[in-house]
Chain A
């Protein structure tokens, strides 16, 4: 019971919704780091103290995740998007077995760190991590467009990226029941909606004439390439897990 409560607290963004959002004591960037740290703590606890799935807690996490989905579809800030995606995926992390949760959380964190670095790049070049007016980056900043497409495709749960493979691995390994179908369907579709909405407004669209577009620097490109390579390596792990 206590473990389930702790997991709910760590995964579903309780500290954020209860305190941080209202008081605004932390910047968005720091909330992102805090959320990832809480997720890592949750995963460690889940691995060290494996428990049976508690449906009431999963349902509470699911309700919170629906709210996160709503918030994620409202925001235009990439930092905020990062932690909303984390909170949104909380129920599946509680539903999956410990090993599957670790792998799925790892792939999600890696993708979100990629998104975080894109947000940093936005902040440096366009003044903030808000993507509202910076559209059509595929045409004007092809490297930024390419990496953002990769991260969003991964978040939308499309193969060959590990998120999709490890999500599939998680659902194949867990026991099915009525709530399982509803939760997995909503998470599967919700991740897609969040990612596609951002893709339509950033990667696609007409470049804004009032914005001076600057592409990723060589150093940033190497960093993103490194993240993508790790993602692909994780895909191989995910593929092996699926077939085993």
Chain B
């Protein structure tokens, strides 16, 4: 019975083929939604099975597995898929290529399920590449748009490079360890890690190849360009890209977690690259004028944090982060359409959410009560929790990963602040609310994040932290990531509060150059255009 779960990657392919023969347009989303619901139910059943029995489900001669990682990610992808399909039903209705869209959507979901559930490097390679081609066809869905095709070309170029690195890594893994089976390889890597430091440079090369392949697909700088520039794709595709596709780097690194136990240098590079991406993308997010591109850079920044978490050995946190970020970003994209629709009818839209929440008179309760509620449900439990932890343990252990998660969240709030135009009157209340929810995020992590780590890696969880040799102290992390927050908030503040004198006022040259560099997105796109005139 439980083996039915292993058919999940094939169901979207069946949907795609059945849609190919359908003539009635109205039936297409219905069939797609019906079978996607079955996928979600199967996913939830599989998760229930894995959680209750503690056993992974193997099938197809060990090629596919429904293990702890699948148990978390498959229901997430399935539910995301349901929402995106439901949204697309009406959103894409007037598009001439409605059928093609649903077929391609199902293909990409199939590739993602296959990627998550693969237990064999060959299957992983196939899924890795299948996702690239499906993504290209979806990004270029608007075939008449020159820029969509051009940006789709960039996407493919970067993804193909990732495919190449991935294939070389697979070949080297096979030649070095003699197997494609991931469960067997993980066991081998774990045993090797217990023997002490590894001096085989090929293993480091493999680690770096997998890391760079993951970074390219997760839009880490300088391979990020494909993500902010593909916002011309249909909105459901944007939601899928930011909530699903871009996460595959994190998923791959989690699958290769035990290999990375052997290669601390790879983890250190991951941390540094993640840090550069987080800082730079967060700045660009605030500087670019196109709102969809700003969201794109926000995702790039979050992926930077995700890779930083991997670099610190917090693999489970990376999974938690990519899921939470995915839900948040998908909802932003999917909401944008209805907001635009409303704005066409009402000139006062978009209203300031901050104003609605904190100033408008509510018939049920007043704002002071609401603040008491926020304080009661967020700050108080945390104080109790922290107090208990101090009493029961030696005190709060420093966990750099928690800090990164917190600051990643803070970058998200920068975006939030710039979207809802904070002003002098209500900003303290907005910031108070944001801080409360920040506290809530930390609080949730302490329970959910650690439970997730225990579920995914069990007793081996702490091993990864030990291997991540980069000496990141609490002070360093606070300093580096605090800088992002301060710069970001200052930028937002200046953008919205300060009356810049027009005419006589001249900015200093350094400031102007810095702004120009940000406005030109670090000249990275220019560099791509100049040196890679292939498409």
For the complex, count residues of B whose C-beta is within 8 A of A. 32
Name which residue of chain B comes closest to A193, CB basis.
B534
Tell which of A149, A159, A176 touches B129, judged by Cβ atoms closer than 8 Å: A159
Fill in one digit per residue for A180-205: 1 if any B CB lies within 8 Å of its CB, else 0. 01000100110011001100100111
Asked whether, in the complex, the Cβ of A159 is within 8 Å of the Cβ of B126, the reply is: yes
Contact B160 A197 (CB under 8 A): no
User: Cβ of B168 < 8 Å from any Cβ of A?
Assistant: yes
- Residues on the A chain within 8 Å of B130, using CB: 158-160
Contact between B160 and A171, CB atoms less than 8 A apart: no
Instruction: Please tell me which one of the listed residues B133, B153, B161, B171 contacts residue A200 in the complex, with CB atoms under 8 A apart.
Output: B153
Interface centre among B152, B167, B172, B174 (most CB of A within 10 A): B167
Question: Which residue in chain B gives the minimum CB-CB distance to A153?
Answer: B133
A160-B130, A205-B149 are contacts. A200–B535 as well, Cβ < 8 Å? yes
A176: contacting residue among B143, B160, B171, B535, CB under 8 A = B171
Q: Are B174 and A172 in contact (CB under 8 A)?
A: yes
Q: Tell me the minimal C-beta distance from B390 to chain A in angstroms.
A: 54
Query: Are A172 and B171 touching (Cβ within 8 A)?
Result: yes
By the criterion CB–CB under 8 Å, are B535 and A185 in contact?
no
B526 at the interface (CB under 8 A from A): no
Query: Which chain B residue has the least Cβ–Cβ distance from A146?
Result: B100
Q: How far is the CA of A197 from the CA of B168 in the complex (A)?
A: 24
Q: Which of B122, B143, B168 contacts A205 (CB 8 A)?
A: B143
- Residues of B contacting A192 with CB < 8 Å? 156, 160
> Smallest distance from the beta carbon of B208 to chain A beta carbons, Å?
14
Q: Please tell me which one of the listed residues A139, A158, A164, A196 contacts residue B535 in the complex, with CB atoms under 8 A apart.
A: A196
Partner of B149, one of A156, A158, A160, A200: A200
In contact, A188 and B126 (Cβ under 8 angstroms):
no
Question: CB of B14 within 8 A of chain A?
Answer: no
* Cβ–Cβ contact A158 & B164, under 8 A: no
CB within 8 Å of A: which B119-176 residues: 120, 122, 125-126, 129-130, 132-133, 137, 140, 143-144, 146, 149, 152-153, 156, 160-161, 164, 167-168, 171-172, 174-175
State whether the Cβ of B96 lies closer than 8 Å to any Cβ in chain A.
yes
Taking a contact as CB atoms under 8 Å apart, the answer to whether A206 and B144 are in contact is yes
Judged by a CB distance under 8 angstroms, whether B184 is at the interface is no
Question: Is A203 in contact with B153, judged by CB distance below 8 angstroms?
Answer: no
Chain B residues contacting A193 (CB-CB under 8 Å) are: 534
Q: Does B97 contact A (CB under 8 A)?
A: yes
A241 CA / B257 CA spacing, docked (Å) = 28
Residues of chain A within 8 A (CB-CB) of B97 are 138-139
* Complex CA–CA separation, A160 to B130 (angstroms): 7
Q: How far is the CA of A159 from the CA of B168 in the complex (A)?
A: 16
| Contact, CB under 8 Å: A185 / B164 | yes
Give B313 Cβ to nearest chain A Cβ, in Å: 31
Given the complex, which residues of B lie within 8 Å of A172, measured CB to CB?
171, 174
Q: Which residues of A contact B149 (CB under 8 A)?
A: 200, 204-205
Check if A48 is an interface residue, CB within 8 A of chain B.
no
A1 at the B interface (CB under 8 A): no
CB-based contact A196/B153 at 8 Å: yes
B160 touches A204 (CB 8 A): no
In the assembled complex, A242 has its CB within 8 A of some CB on chain B: yes
From known contacts A139-B96, A153-B133, A159-B129, infer whether A171 and B122 are also in contact, taking CB-CB under 8 Å.
Answer: no
CB proximity of A101 to chain B, nearest CB, Å: 18
CA distance A189 to B164 in the complex (A): 8
A168-B535 CB under 8 A given contacts A181-B168, A189-B164, A200-B149: no
Minimum CB–CB distance for A194 against chain B, Å? 11
The distance from the CB of B37 to the nearest CB of chain A, in whole angstroms, is: 26
When chains A and B are docked, how far (Å) is the Cα of A153 from the Cα of B175?
28
Centre residue among A136, A176, A200, A205 by max chain B CB count within 10 A: A200
Contact A204 B140 (CB under 8 A): yes
Other-chain contact of B137, A149, A242, A243 (Cβ < 8 Å):
A149
Instruction: Tell me whether A168 and B167 are in contact in the complex, defined as CB-CB below 8 angstroms, given that A158-B133, A196-B153, A242-B122 are known contacts.
Output: yes
B132-A158 in contact (CB<8A):
yes
Bound-complex Cα distance A172 to B125 (A)? 13
Would you give the shortest CB distance from A193 to chain B, in whole angstroms?
Answer: 6
- Residues in A126-172 with C-beta less than 8 Å from chain B: 136, 138-139, 149, 153, 156, 158-160, 164-165, 168, 171-172
Measured CA separation A206–B146 after assembly (Å) = 8
Q: What residues of B have a CB within 8 angstroms of the CB of A205 in the complex?
A: 143-144, 146, 149
Given A139-B96, A164-B129, verify A204-B164 contact (CB < 8 Å).
no
With A and B bound together, what is the CA distance between A189 and B168 in angstroms? 13
Which of chain A's residues have a CB closer than 8 A to the CB of B133?
A: 153, 156, 158
Within the assembled complex, what's the spacing in Å between the Cα atoms of A141 and B133?
Answer: 21
| B167 with A171: CB separation less than 8 A | yes
Residues on A with beta carbons closer than 8 Å to the beta carbon of B129: 158-159, 164
B493 vs chain A, min Cβ distance (A): 44
CB distance from B22 to the nearest CB of A (A): 14
Which residues from 32 to 83 on chain B have a C-beta closer than 8 Å to any C-beta of chain A? 63
| Distance in angstroms between the alpha carbons of A206 and B144 in the assembled complex | 4
Closest to B63 in A: A243
Give the CA-CA distance A198 to B156 in the complex, in Å.
14
Interface pairs A-B: 6 shortest CB-CB: A158-B133, A204-B143, A159-B126, A206-B144, A204-B149, A192-B160
Interface pairs (14), CB distance under 8 Å: A138-B97, A139-B144, A159-B126, A159-B129, A160-B126, A160-B130, A165-B126, A171-B167, A176-B171, A189-B160, A192-B160, A204-B140, A205-B144, A206-B146
